[in-house]
Structure 1
């Protein structure tokens, strides 16, 4: 399971929605409904591709390593084998 630690995925969705609405601050109701329908179609197509291929896009090694380190720290914290010096980042 991937635990999201940022809201970048929401920022991307919001940017895509704004572009679909032509950056109108208060769009007409039916224009908004059309944008939501387009977003649903986009997400359905992406999900279908992932399900058909069985492969998700690769994650950057930076984030894979960070998540592994955080999971390791969390596990050691639960086992109470983590010292404060080990927890603090080295400078």
Structure 2
């Protein structure tokens, strides 16, 4: 009687490629959860334009934009009398 476990030992040269592909796939999945946003500001004459875009997290983006608008409003209150005097 010959004893046997049924296990085989072999080397597969393609395993590093499979693990690399799996790692890249997981990295792509994690990157899809990251949100990014852009906010632009343009001062043209006496007008100040603010705009932006985001790929997700619209509520957070709206909060950030409102905070920026409040900061601009606070700073424009100090500038506004100067503009009124020079006009």
Give the structure with the higher percent strand.
Answer: 2
Give the structure with the higher percent helix.
Answer: 1
Q: Which has the larger radius of gyration?
A: 2
